[in-house]
Each structure stands twice: as structure tokens, then as C-alpha cells.
Structure 1
């Protein structure tokens, strides 16, 4: 795969190029740019299959660059410094990302995904814009998550589906996968652990009630207490509540 690196920090560019040359022989690095304008020109001329793109760059940030590209017919891996809301935004939109400093194992796995997955869906990028704080805006530092329209991208076997978060009734762990149950009766299995899902949804009216289950509190109809405490959800499903989660659940939502 022909690849480009676009990042305004020269040291980051050099290190990523070195890691790709050493550990990703399937990647042909055809350009390295610290100027986003030059990077944009290179995309248009060289037509890469893979672009490693920093978001926060001067003059023209990563989002502005992608707007000028037009149709995006290449795979994008966003490269960013750690920020909890930025990472949540990537996960909501099911986009590939790498955190600086880049871990070699993560890099290898990301490149392998790029070989087998479809190009970016424009809706994924739109979700990313909604969840990612504006460049230069201290949303993460202020501790306030960015506003959203309440949708999430679920990567599954045949692609990516976009669903309204409030239509998700509950999530169930299945080894290293998670199954999403929707109020329409649809189910989607995604290649994320329930722990990964919890990081994304715990601020959106979801609560982990059991090692195997996370539920949307808006779909809880009844809490049945006793030795085997469980929830009855809007679709009639009974979900067990772990003993250590019962008091936390009742306290959080003001139940008496």
C-alpha cells in the first residue's frame, strides 16, 4: 500500500516512518510532510491507499485538509496525542487512530486492518466532527464532553451501521466481542470488548450492571430485588444485576 504521513511535528514523522519501514513491509511510504498544504497536494497527485494524518496542525488542520480533498478514496489513520474525549470520538465513529507516542504493536494491527477494511464512510467522518472538540478548544481539559447528536457507528462483519444511541436497549459481552440489541429487534456483533464499549457509552445513560451486561437506563422498566436481583427491560429481557452493582445503580438513578 502506498502511504503518506502528514504531521506538523518532524520528530513524529521520522519516528513513524522508521516504525513503518521496520515493521510494516506491506507499506510503501511515498511521502512525509510537516506542511498540511503540501500534504494535500501529495494526496491529490500520488493517490495513496493509506494516509497517517495528524488533526491539530497549524494553517490547515486535519479536518480542513479532508474537506479540500473531496471524495476520500483512501484509508485514514488519525494520529493524535492522548485526550480522553478525542479517543471517545474515534471510538464513537469507529475510525482508526494511533496515540502518540505510537506503540509498534498498535501500528502493525492498524495497518493490517487498513488492508482488509473498506475505505472511510463519510458518515463516520461526520460523527467524528460531532464528537471531537473543535481544534484548539479546551473541551477535554475543562472536563466537558463535546455535544453530539446521539448516534454511534457500529463496525460489524459486513461494514459499519449507524444507529441512534437511544435505540440501543442493552449490550452483551461475548468473549472479545460485544452484541448490541436494538429496540427494533436488530442485533449487531462488533469487534470490541464490553470494556471498550463502556468507555464510550457510560456518559450516555448506560450503566454496567454485570460483567456481561451494560444497559440503557431509559429502557429499564423494573428492578426486581432479592437474592437474584435483575432488571426487566423494555423488550421483556431480564438482565441480572451483580451484587456490587445493585446499590450503585439505585444510588445513581435515585431509586428508593
Structure 2
């Protein structure tokens, strides 16, 4: 796997290079650039498999670097020092990122993921860029769901519920289809629970706007708008009642 590192901080470039050499022998660094302009030239010349890219750089930021490249026939990993909002923005776009200073385990996980998903789509980058340009710091109404054949952009309002499948999550959509995504339900919960979703069971996260009926009692459950019954744990019966203000 041939890699290029583009970051205006020489120390960050050096540290990432060391981590890759130590922990990811399958990655060959073909170019390192502390100039974003030289980074564009390096991408065109070397045609890498993966690009490690900082966002905030002088002359051209990371988005402008990608705009200067006609296509993105490579996997993309952002390297960033951004805070909480930005990290969620990456997740909404299903894009990989590494926090500075680079953690070796997180680096190996990122490389493992891109070995499965070979390249990044321009739609994912556009989705991320729109969030960074959003001065109100509100999250989008769409989420990117990478699946076996590509990336689907789905309105949050169309997601009926999510179901845990070991380290994967199934997203069930109102139109009837589902997407299997390589995220744990806990990761999905952290992203969506503040957007009208609630973890009602260890295996299920539901869209509260898609509840059709709530059946109380010892074996409580909800019936969703698509007709599926979802069990509600004893602990989460009270959370449901609190959310809707039920007596």
C-alpha cells in the first residue's frame, strides 16, 4: 500500500512516518509534503493508495488539495487536532481520521479499515466540507453509511431502527432495505442518540419518531412504523416515559 503524508507540521509528519514504519509494514511511504501545493503534485505523480491529510494548512487547506485533484482514486485518512464537533463531523461522513498526536493502535485500525474500503468518494468529502463550513455547528440531516458496494447517504428521518450484529450494525430504512455498516451499535449510539434516537435494548437503537405503539407490561416492546416489534428493557421503559412525558 503506497502512502503520501501531507501536513504543514514537520514534527507531525515525522511522527506519523515513524509510527507507520514501526506498526504498518504493509504501508510504503512514497512522499511526505509539508507544503499543500507540493502535496497536490505528489498525488498526481505517485497515484497513491492512501493519503494522510491535514485539513488546516496555509496556501491550500485539505479540502482545496482534494479539489485540485480531479478524482480521488485513493483512500483518505484525515489527521487532525480538531475538537468534539469536528470528530462527529468525520463520523457523519464515514471518513477515517486520526487525532494528533498519533496513537499506534488507532493508526493500525485505520489502515485495517481502508484495506477493506479501497477509496473515498467525493460525496463523502463534500458532505464533510459542508459541515466544516457550517458556522452554527449543527449536524446534518444526512449520514453516510459505507456498505459493501459503496456509500449510501441516508436522511436520519428515514432510519427506523438500528440493530447490533456483533461488531457491525444494521440500519433499517423506512423504504424496507437495510445497510450493514462496520460500526458497533455503541459507536452509532454515541452519534445519533442526541438526534432523536434511543437505545431501548442492548441490541436495538430506535428512531423515536418512528414509534407507532408502545406495549407496556413485563415484556414491554414498541411497534415501529414498519411493523417491526422491538423489545424494551426494564431500565429503558422509564427513559421512554421520560422522553415522551407519559404518565
Asked if the contact 1:130/1:146 (under 8 Å) is kept, the reply is no
Q: Within the alignment, does 1:250 sit opposite 2:241 as a pair?
A: yes
Q: Hey, what's the Cα distance between the residues in 2 that align with 1:252 and 1:58?
A: 46
1:147 Cα offset (Å):
4.2
Structure 1 residue runs without a partner (length 5+): none
Q: Hey, what's the Cα distance between the residues in 2 that align with 1:239 and 1:145?
A: 33
Asked if the contact 1:179/1:187 (under 8 Å) is kept, the reply is yes
Paired residue for 1:25? 25
Asked if the contact 2:89/2:139 (under 8 Å) is kept, the reply is no
Aligned pair partner of 2:138 in 140, 143, 146: 146
Paired residue for 1:127? 127
| TM-score computed with the length of structure 2 as normaliser | 0.92
Q: Hey, what's the Cα distance between the residues in 2 that align with 1:110 and 1:147?
A: 24
Give structure 1 regions of 4+ aligned residues with deviation exceeding 3 angstroms: none
1:82 Cα offset (Å):
4.8
Structure 2 residue runs without a partner (length 5+): none
1:198 Cα offset (Å):
0.8
| TM-score computed with the length of structure 1 as normaliser | 0.89
> RMSD of the alignment, in Å?
1.8
Paired residue for 1:14? 14
Asked if the contact 1:209/1:245 (under 8 Å) is kept, the reply is yes
Q: Hey, what's the Cα distance between the residues in 2 that align with 1:119 and 1:80?
A: 19
Q: Within the alignment, does 1:44 sit opposite 2:44 as a pair?
A: yes
Paired residue for 1:235? 226
- Matched residue SS, 1:228: coil
Query: For structure 1, which segment, 43-52 or 206-215, has the greater mean C-alpha deviation from structure 2 after superposition?
Result: 43-52
Aligned pair partner of 1:160 in 144, 151, 168: 151
Query: For structure 1, which segment, 54-63 or 166-175, has the greater mean C-alpha deviation from structure 2 after superposition?
Result: 54-63
Q: Hey, what's the Cα distance between the residues in 2 that align with 1:238 and 1:27?
A: 46
Aligned pair partner of 2:212 in 221, 227, 235: 221
- Matched residue SS, 2:226: coil
Sort the Cα spacing of 1:116 and 1:243 in 2 relative to 1 into closer, same or farther, 3 A: closer
1:90 Cα offset (Å):
1.6
1:163 Cα offset (Å):
1.7
Deviations 1:150-207 (A, max 9, x none): 2212122333222222111001112111111111111221111100111121122111
- Matched residue SS, 1:202: helix
Q: Hey, what's the Cα distance between the residues in 2 that align with 1:207 and 1:193?
A: 15
Q: Hey, what's the Cα distance between the residues in 1 that align with 2:153 and 2:142?
A: 7
Deviations 1:75-116 (A, max 9, x none): 111111252222212221111211222111221222233333
Q: Hey, what's the Cα distance between the residues in 2 that align with 1:90 and 1:54?
A: 13
